[in-house]
């Protein structure tokens, strides 16, 4: 090793993944076939076999619960492959250095190879929910690099398969909790892996060089061509400037002027950027409270489009005061997503309404009160106020025939009564606020004070398929799993876990992070309920949603009112003629 301090970049990025290329079932132009035998294969399993090994038990349990054959899943591998929600597998590419400082025969080639091997050996230990089925280190290209292919797996799911594919939930179960759009689970996990790569560099007495993204994994020819083109252009202009001005041709003078214009443009951009940063650093930040998740996400997207810096904290977004008008315009322009079909909208409304009905006849009467037309006969049909035709209830699918609706109405109080029984007979003082929040949420849904959100969009809405109630039940399960009965125990366990995470071994840290994430969620919810904000936030979110829905209708009425005098004026002119 030389006496000077070494600097190497790191590259950690996701890719679509091509297993055949990784395993050299075919060769591309940038591969040196004479060195392919040097490649190191860590894992090489059949993906279909891995799916059967991991998911077959959960798939069998899921299919046993299904009463309709069309909801059964024959092959989970094909189900994911043909679906659009999740990818069959994920791939990351990891590399130290680039084609100049880690190329074949360079001083850093062997050290890069050694560091990549160290990173790969502990990958699954750090990431227990990422099941690696193919991993190889390529040593037959311009630089050593890893291709790691894995299936992200989450466990203990209450909807769908209990064990299923989900990158987001897999990362969550490894202890990474999102904190706004700029700190999603995937971003936090990627930062953690880059931190590990940096740690490996430092252990080998090498400092990380920070470079731009997506430029590291070029072929040797591409990299050299790009680098040489820039060097040649700069050398050419430098040589022209050394010549006597009298001997320069018009074309050469133009080249020099173009470069000067370019430099002026760069300097002007830098000055503008400095002014912008100075304005941001000196600005006061204003709080904007938004309780509707859909609306808040829309505003965050708009802020990013105009490069507005912001800080997101729970239901509040802090923005610089000079962006206040931009936010007001975005708030005025917000419209709720309305992508559901008429049939889905009708089913969702019936799902909610049957909790307020005493009988099937009462359900039809309530539908009439909300502007729905009813056609009785052999089969009952309903025409919503937003639809153009009647729809038979039985045509809506399983759970909506007259017989099934009657049965659901008879059982409408089973879940609320069970929650009430648990609260009265088993809940301790710490659990009671959570049961209170569940009961209040049920009341608000029944009285149409709030619009609930389904946890599983493919299932009918019920109190067991309510995302808010599901979240509260998760908190209760956390308290039960950790045997916590007082708020003091809750806060003490949170502090203990933080300390243990800082001082534990690497193989224990993932499980401790998962525990800490569950405890933190329970604390946030408990504080919101105790302070009286939890239910208030639900009502505020509903108010924001309703305002967003009614705003387009009000605009339409205003436009019609504005256009009316014009029509009258035209008629009057005709009468005068």
Q: What's the pLDDT score for residue 85? A: 80
Other CB atoms within 10 A of residue 89 CB:
21
Other CB atoms within 10 A of residue 187 CB:
15
Q: Which long-range contacts (C-beta less than 8 Å, at least 24 apart) are formed by 107-115? A: 107/1, 107/2, 108/6, 108/8, 109/144, 111/204, 111/206, 112/8, 112/143, 112/144, 113/137, 113/139, 113/144, 114/204, 115/200, 115/201, 115/204
In a 3-state reduction of DSSP, which class is residue 6?
Answer: strand
Q: What is the DSSP string of 385-453?
A: TT-SS-EEGGGG-TT-SHHHHHHHHHTTTHHHHHHHHHHHHT--TTTHHHHHHHHHHHHHHHTTSS---
Six token digits for residue 369: 């009160």
Q: What's the pLDDT score for residue 566? A: 40
Q: What's the pLDDT score for residue 1? A: 42
* Residues forming a β-bridge with 165: 153
Backbone phi and psi for residue 42, each to the nearest 5 degrees, phi listed first: -95, -45
Half-sphere exposure of 13 (CA within 13 A, CB side): 13
In a 3-state reduction of DSSP, which class is residue 483?
Answer: coil
Q: What's the pLDDT score for residue 256? A: 61
Residues in the chain where the model's pLDDT stays below 70: 1-5, 180-182, 210-238, 240-284, 291-294, 297, 312-315, 335-340, 545, 548-577
Closest CA to 99 of 246, 22, 211: 211
376 Cα distance to chain centroid: 46
Half-sphere exposure of 106 (CA within 13 A, CB side): 17
Q: What's the pLDDT score for residue 150? A: 95
Backbone phi and psi for residue 559, each to the nearest 5 degrees, phi listed first: -65, -40
Which helix (H) or strand (E) element contains residue 536? helix 533-576
* Residues forming a β-bridge with 40: 137
DSSP state at residue 76: H
* Residues forming a β-bridge with 319: 286
Q: For every residue of 179-220, which 3-state class applies, written as one string?
A: CCHHHCHHHHHHHHHHHHHHHHHHHCCEEECCCCCCCCCCCH
Whether this model's pTM surpasses 0.95:
no
The domain made up of 6-216 has a fold known as BirA Bifunctional Protein; domain 2 (3.30.930)
pLDDT in tens, 311-348: 766 567 878 777 788 888 877 777 654 556 788 889 98
Closest CA to 134 of 48, 55, 33, 23: 23
270 Cα distance to chain centroid: 34
Distance CA 439, CA 423 (A): 10
Distance CA 103, CA 94 (A): 15
In a 3-state reduction of DSSP, which class is residue 231?
Answer: helix
Distance CA 298, CA 288 (A): 13
Distance CA 16, CA 24 (A): 16
Closest CA to 165 of 173, 154, 174: 154
Helical residues (DSSP H) of 1-106, grouped into ranges = 19-22, 47-65, 76-82
Q: What's the pLDDT score for residue 69? A: 82
Residue recorded with tokens 């019936």: 350
Please name the residues in contact with 18: beta carbons below 8 A apart, sequence gap of 6 or more.
Answer: none
Distance CA 164, CA 59 (A): 9
Q: What's the pLDDT score for residue 568? A: 38
DSSP state at residue 283: P
What's the chain's Rg over C-alpha atoms?
31
Integer CA distances (angstroms), 342 to 348, 356, 476, in order: 10, 22, 36
């Amino acid at each position: 090793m030389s006496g000077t301090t070494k600097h190497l970049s790191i590259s950690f990025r996701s890719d679509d993944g091509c297993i055949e290329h990784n395993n050299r079932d075919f060769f591309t132009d940038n591969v040196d076939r004479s060195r392919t035998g040097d490649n190191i294969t860590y894992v090489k399993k059949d993906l279909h076999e891995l799916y059967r090994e991991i998911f077959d038990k959960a798939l069998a349990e899921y299919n046993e619960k299904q009463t309709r054959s069309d909801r059964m899943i024959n092959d989970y591998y094909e189900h994911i492959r043909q679906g659009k929600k999740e990818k069959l597998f994920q791939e990351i590419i990891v590399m130290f250095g680039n084609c100049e400082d880690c190329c074949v025969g360079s001083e850093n080639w062997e050290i890069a190879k050694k560091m990549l091997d160290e990173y790969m050996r502990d990958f699954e230990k750090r990431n227990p929910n990422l099941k690696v089925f193919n991993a190889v280190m390529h040593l037959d290209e311009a630089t050593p690099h890893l291709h790691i292919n894995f299936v992200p797996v989450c466990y203990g799911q209450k909807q769908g398969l209990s064990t299923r594919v989900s990158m987001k939930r897999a990362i969550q179960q490894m202890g990474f909790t999102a904190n706004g759009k700029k700190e999603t689970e995937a971003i936090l996990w990627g930062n953690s892996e880059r931190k590990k790569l940096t740690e490996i560099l430092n252990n080998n007495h090498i400092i990380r060089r920070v470079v731009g993204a997506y430029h590291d994994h070029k072929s040797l020819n591409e990299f050299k061509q790009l680098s040489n083109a820039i060097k040649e252009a700069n050398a050419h202009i430098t040589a022209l400037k050394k010549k006597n001005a009298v001997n320069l041709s018009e074309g050469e003078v133009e080249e020099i002027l173009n470069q000067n214009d370019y430099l002026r443009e760069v300097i002007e951009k830098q000055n503008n950027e400095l002014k912008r940063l100075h304005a941001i650093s000196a600005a006061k930040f204003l709080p904007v409270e938004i309780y509707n998740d859909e609306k808040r996400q829309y505003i965050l997207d708009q802020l990013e489009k105009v490069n507005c810096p912001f800080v997101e904290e729970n239901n509040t977004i802090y923005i610089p005061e000079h962006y206040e008008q931009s936010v007001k315009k975005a708030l005025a322009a917000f419209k709720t997503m309305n992508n559901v079909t008429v049939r889905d909208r009708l089913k969702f409304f019936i799902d909610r309404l049957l909790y307020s009905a005493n009988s099937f006849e009462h359900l039809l009467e309530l539908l009439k009160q909300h502007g729905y037309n009813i056609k009785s006969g052999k089969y009952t049909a309903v025409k919503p106020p937003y639809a153009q035709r009647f729809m038979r209830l039985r045509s809506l699918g399983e759970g909506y025939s007259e017989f099934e609706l009657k049965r659901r109405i008879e059982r409408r109080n089973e879940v609320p009564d069970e929650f009430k029984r648990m609260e009265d007979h088993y809940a301790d003082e710490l659990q009671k606020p959570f049961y209170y929040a569940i009961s209040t949420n049920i009341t608000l849904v029944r009285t149409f004070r709030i619009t609930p959100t389904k946890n599983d969009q493919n299932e009918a809405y019920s109190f067991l398929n309510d995302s808010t109630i599901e979240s509260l039940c998760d908190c209760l399960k956390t308290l039960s799993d950790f045997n916590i009965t007082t708020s003091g125990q809750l806060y003490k366990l949170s502090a203990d876990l933080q300390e243990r995470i800082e001082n534990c071994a690497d193989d224990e840290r993932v499980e401790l992070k998962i525990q800490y994430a569950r405890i933190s969620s329970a604390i946030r919810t408990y504080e919101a309920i105790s302070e009286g904000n939890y239910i208030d936030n639900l009502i505020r979110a509903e108010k924001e949603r309703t305002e967003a829905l009614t705003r387009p209708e009000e605009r339409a009425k205003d436009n019609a009112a504005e256009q009316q005098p014009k029509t009258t004026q035209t008629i009057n002119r005709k009468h005068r003629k």
